Structure 1
Amino acid sequence: MFSRSTRQWASGSMLRSPVRAAFRRAASTTTPVPVPPTPPPIPSSTTPVVKKKRIGFFRLTWRLTWLSLLGSAAYLTYEVYKEVNPSPQIPQSPLKPNGNRRKTVVILGSGWGAVSTLKHLDTSLYNVVVVSPRNYFLFTPLLPSVPTGTIDLKSIIDPVRTIAKSTPGEVKYLEAEATDIDIAKKQLTIQHSSYSATSGVHHVTIGGDEAKPIVATIDYDYLVFAIGAQTATFGIPGIEKYAYYLKETADAARIRRSLFETIEASQLLPKDSEERKRLLSVVVCGGGPTGVELAAEIKDYIDEDLSRFVPGIETEMSVTLVEALPNVLNAFNHKLIEYTESIFEKQQLDLRVNTMVKKVDDKNVYATVKKSGGDTENVTIPYGTLVWATGNGPRPLTKAVAAQIEEQKTARRGLLIGEHLLVDGTDSVFALGDCTFTKNPPTAQVAHQEGIYLASHLAKLSKVDDLKYLIAQNTDPEQLVRLQRRLDRAQASIQPFKYTHQGALAYIGSERAVADLVWGDWSNVSTGGSLTFLFWRSAYVSMMLGVRTKILVVSDWIKVKVFGRDCSKE
């Protein structure tokens, strides 16, 4: 009876449809309510906690140590390879690549000054000839350690040819002794000679009815005069005949032989014998670093090693250090001098200062002691072994050179040189080291710095000479202007030599050393003791020229630490 639409309206479906649609539209446009994040689960006692790994201090130190050792080993391997396999050298020739004449530089000597010049010189710029009767460089600061066996003699020797082979240009070496120099002709006369540890200097001769030494002459453009000095005896009677020196390798061998000859001879005499006491007395004259270090080394040897082989000898054998000045190590800080004297007192090393040697015979040293009041007293010091380690004097060749030059007439203790190390009165002879007389001390440190300077100076002279040659060969005005400017700059770069004192080191026994160091112009460091002893060793190793000698010296120290020094005569 009702229609379909009427029934839907009556049931309310038609009324509800618009409302539902409105709610749907509202729901679709309404911003959703944010849902809070789910909290992380609380770890139970059975759930493992992952922690960030940390490297411990000791583990980090261990790793850094290993890395340092590996790096040092790699660097050492590289240095050894480089020393054993040097680069090819440029051969000597009469002309340079630019057509200019290649000049000849003759280096006379194989000590600190000569070898420093050779090592730092660009040998491709010159025809370089080295002349020396000694075909090796001797590291003299460690020579006092040789007579006692602390260091083997071969460990402090670098062959001249090995040093020359490491330079960029070919170097000729002649084992010979210079007998005469003609300054006017720029000519050097040489004679072959060699050293023998047992018989001294002898000459190799040519066979025949009348054997004659091998003599030759060399022309030079520049002469590097670096023959060093000889030990000065100051005219004291008996020194030259009875005392041993400490300047060459043969000297160290003689001192060691004398020590053991007197020790073995003393064993045949009664213990209360005066002759036995004399034989077991070692006297070292000279309170500089060489004398102090030798006396300290011998005292260590007696107390630490000989006492094991000859029981009781440490109480019988004595070491006396004699110095004419009021102090030993006179160039050091006064506190270090006092420290050295206190160490000597603990070691029972007999130190005698203000004691001037007047005469020596085959058994005694006769000296005069200056007392505090000004009075003097004559003393007699018996000895079995006497070492003279003080004073330098000019060699005969140095005197012969000075006699040829008017400007050298007043030279008594060595050649007089200018600010560029050029010998006064010459234009082609450079002198350096102990053969000269300057305001600088006659030490290895001075000669080393002079050699470095001279190598640089010779390189600058070569550049100036090349520019002058190019100017003489050139005709282009613009080129000439540029070359002249370069020449002016090259000449202006030539500066005088200036010595920079870096300090001094000395070993004083019982694994102690003193160091008086200078750091530039603003700081001085004076120290002594066991840590200074380690610095003394490391400083000397770093100063050595070759990797081979550095390794050998360190090996010798390790060997002595483990096995001790031996008691053989040789």
Structure 2
Amino acid sequence: MALRQLVRAQPLLARPLIAPRATSLLAPRFAAAANISSSSRRSDVPPEARIPPQPQQDIPVPPKVGPSAKSEGSRPRRFLRTFGRVTLVVILTATGAFLYVTQQQNHPPEQLPVDRTKPTLVVLGSGWGATSFLKSLDTEEFNVVVISPRNYFLFTPLLPSVTVGTLEPRSIIQPTRYITRHKKRKVDVYEAEAQEVDPVKKTVTFQDLSDVRGSAGSVTIPYDYLVYAVGCENQTFGIKGVPEHACFLKELGDADKIRTKLMDCIETAAFRDQPQEEIDRLMHMVVVGGGPTGVEYAGELHDFLIDDLKKWYPEVADRLRITLIEALPNVLPAFSKQLIQYTESTFKENKIDVLTRTMVKDVKEQAVVVQDANKEIREIPYGLLVWATGNTSRQITRDLMNKLASVQTQRRGLVVDDYLSLLGGDGIYAIGDCTATSYAPTAQVASQQGIYLASIFQKLGQKAKLERQLNELRATSADPAEIEAVAKKLSRASKLTPFHYSHQGSLAYIGSEKAIADLPLFNGNVASGGGAAMLFWRSAYISTLYSVRNRTLVLADWLKVKIFGRDVSRE
């Protein structure tokens, strides 16, 4: 019994509850007792019933996971966790900044009232030059009045996208009051058309030409300074039938008209029992003008054909033809030769006919008469004719030039000096397409002129403020050192630097998710075309838009078209 109790107690004694020395002394006794007990048990069992001892098998031991293996396994997990946290912080920060900016733009602050002691600054127009000027102008020292037949700024480079429904019209316009309401001093904005500028009396006469008119139809106001930025109108070269039958592409209403007429042609071509010749005529779209506007419209029209027309009008989609007519030897004359060839080859792949060295002689209701390089005259039937050939001076500009005929000798526009001051006009500054300068009449030039002119008026305002301060100091017999310091500031404010245009490059979309970019680099140019240039084209225009609102709307329109396609309904 004592031996059995010792055997049963052996596992308990093996635990580290006894001191190591005691364990070593008791172990031999326990082992001997265990051997005696086991031998006695074996002697009681018959030999045939005994179980032979089994060989001891090696039990596989799982490999130990060391610190290096644990760190390798947890490293991707830590990276994903950190990346997720950083992404969340970025999203929350961007969302907060977006909401802050939009709320700030939607809630203009209180403005200073009109101060009759300040000079009156009248701005004619709301295009690239006028809007850039207003956006950069500090109105604290002026009473500003804006007069324009439209109460918004139109982002014209994206206007061809509106003609086929890639962008919505409201996405590329910015109300003028969204800019003027954020100025320090109140700015008066009148939706009216300027009728006359009197450089002798220094007055401007403007008239309300809207459909809804009040009793005050025509008003004349005086000015101290006049910023003349009325732009130009479409050039028809005196060709008969152009105003009656062609669609221009200069204003927002022009894009809506083109879109409506385009869908009219398609629906009429799909009409039951329509003759084949009439279908071919209706589905022939002719673009006159190989500049950026004409090329971009042809590219947008091709995208509309491939992406949408073939899905919803399969019976007539294959009959659509696009023809581009240009009087010069090639399209896009302002771009490099490499990009011109790339554009023409892309148009050839897209089956867009390009007729260079071809002049339009007459425009009829259903056909355009042209003369090719061989002096042969022929008629080209069309369903839609888009006229994008160039600009000419407005009537009010020609009248102003006649009043200053002794110094205004250029027929293509107003002549200004290096500081954009109109020759012969006291207090008149002219910017944009209405001027005759050595620069191309582009939006980029007008925008830089507006920013420069705002800096000129900034110095004029500083000069007026310093002159008042200097007169007050002299009247109170102030410290001569203080008077001298103000006089030096006045001298610096009186120094003006001439306008210098910095070309930032030229961009154009040519269809099929391709664009061309002609960018200046050091003393040369970098010419690029294709999908990457298209991404640059989009990013450049997004960054050029004047507000977060416009950027958001344009991005949403591009995403909407990518997912759902263009709307083919007729408005």
TM category, shorter:
0.7 to 0.9
Counterpart-to-counterpart distance in 1, 2:483 and 2:277: 84
Written as runs of structure 1 = structure 2, the 5 A alignment for 1:13-412 is 49-51=66-68, 52=71, 54-55=75-76, 59=80, 64-94=86-116, 101-194=117-210, 202=211, 204-206=213-215, 214-268=217-271, 270=273, 273-370=276-373, 375-412=374-411
Contact 1:270 1:276 in 2 (8 A): no
Is residue 419 from structure 1 mapped to residue 418 from structure 2 by the alignment?
yes
2:408 touches 2:415 (CA, 8 Å); kept in 1? no
Give secondary structure in 2 for the equivalent of 1:376: coil
Q: How far apart, in 1, do the equivalents of 2:421 and 2:212 lie? A: 32
Distance 1:61 1:287 in 2: 49
Q: Which amino acid aligns with 1:516?
A: D
Which whole-Å deviations, capped at 9, do the CAs of 1:362-400 have from their partners, x for residues lacking one? 111111111xxxx43223211111010011000001011
Deviation at 1:247, TM superposition (A): 0.8
Match of residue 449 from structure 2 = 450
Maintained 8 Å contact 1:421/1:431: yes
Q: Over aligned residues, Cα RMSD in angstroms?
A: 2.0
**Post-superposition offset of 1:273:** 2.4
CA contact (8 A) 2:506 2:519 kept: yes
Deviation at 1:408, TM superposition (A): 3.9
Deviation at 1:46, TM superposition (A): 7.4
Q: Give the letter aligned to residue 342 of structure 1.
A: S
Residues 118-153 of structure 1, C-alpha deviations (whole Å, 9 max, x = no match) = 011011121111111101111111110111000000
3-state secondary structure, aligned to 2:111? coil
In the alignment, residue 222 of structure 2 is paired with which amino acid?
D
> Shift of residue 57 of structure 1?
9.8
Secondary structure at the residue paired with 2:243? helix
Q: Alignment partner of 2:451: what SS? A: helix
Cα distance between partner residues in 2 of 1:331 and 1:358: 25
Give the drift of 1:318: 0.7
**Any unmatched runs of 5+ in structure 1?**
1-43, 95-100, 195-201, 207-212
Q: Which amino acid aligns with 2:389?
A: T
Give the superposition deviation at 1:443: 0.6
* Compared CA separation, residues 56 and 425, structure 1 to 2 (3 A): farther
Q: How big is each residue's C-alpha offset from its partner over 1:53-82, in whole Å with a ceiling of 9 and x where there is no partner?
A: 535797366655544434332322222122
Q: Which deviates the most, 503-512 or 309-318?
A: 309-318
The one-letter amino acid paired with 1:263 is I
Contact 1:513 1:533 in 2 (8 A): yes
Return the offset for 1:341: 1.1
Runs of at least 4 residues off by over 6 Å: 44-47
Q: CA deviation at 1:236?
A: 1.2
TM-score, reference length from structure 2: 0.84
Counterpart in the other structure of 1:526: 527
> 1-side partners of 2:371 and 2:405: how far apart?
40
How far apart are 1:307 and its partner, in Å?
1.4
Deviates more, 1:432-441 or 1:253-262: 253-262
| Higher percent of residues as helix | 2
Instruction: Sort the Cα spacing of 1:419 and 1:173 in 2 relative to 1 into closer, same or farther, 3 A.
Output: same
The residue matched to 1:124 in structure 2 has which SS? helix
Distance 1:220 1:282 in 2: 47
SS of equivalent to 1:330: coil
Task: Give secondary structure in 1 for the equivalent of 2:372.
Answer: strand
Paired residue secondary structure (2:377)? strand
Partners of 1:188 and 1:426 in 2: how far apart?
13
Structure 2 SS opposite 1:398: helix
Does the 8 A contact of 2:413 with 2:436 survive in 1? yes
1:496 paired to 2:516: no
> Deviations along 1:302-344, whole A, 9 cap, x unmatched?
2210111111423101111111111111111111111111111
SS of alignment partner, residue 359 of structure 2: strand
1:486, CA displacement in angstroms? Answer: 1.7
Post-superposition CA distance 1:167-223 (Å, at most 9, x none): 2222111111111111111111111122xxxxxxx57253xxxxxx61111111111
CA contact (8 A) 1:237 1:359 kept: yes
2:397–2:434: 8 Å Cα contact kept in structure 1?
A: yes
1:546, CA displacement in angstroms?
1.2
Whole-angstrom distance in 2 between the partners of 1:242 and 1:179? 27
Contact 2:269 / 2:316 at 8 angstroms: preserved in 1? Answer: no
Report what 2:21 is aligned to: none
Give the conservation status (yes or no) of the 8 Å contact 1:109–1:130: yes
Letter of the 1:352 counterpart: L
Match in the other structure for 2:463 = 464
Between 105-114 and 273-282, the greater mean CA deviation after superposition: 273-282
The count of corresponding residues between Structure 1 and Structure 2 is 502
Task: In structure 2, give the amino acid aligned to 1:267.
Answer: A
Q: Which residue of structure 2 lines up, in the alignment, with residue 34 of structure 1?
A: none
Give the aligned partner of residue 556 of structure 1.
557
Q: Who is 2:49 aligned against?
A: none
Q: Any conservation in 2 of the 1:512–1:532 contact (CA below 8 Å)?
A: yes
What is the percent sequence identity of the aligned residues? 45
Q: How many Å apart are 1:270 and its aligned residue?
A: 4.9
Q: Contact 1:93–1:102 (CA<8 Å) still a contact in 2?
A: yes
Question: What's 2:433 paired with?
Answer: 434
CA distance in structure 2 between the partners assigned to 1:47 and 1:205 by the alignment: 92
How many Å separate the matches in 2 of 1:312 and 1:327? Answer: 34
Task: Give the distance between the partners of 1:508 and 1:281, measured in 2 at CA.
Answer: 19
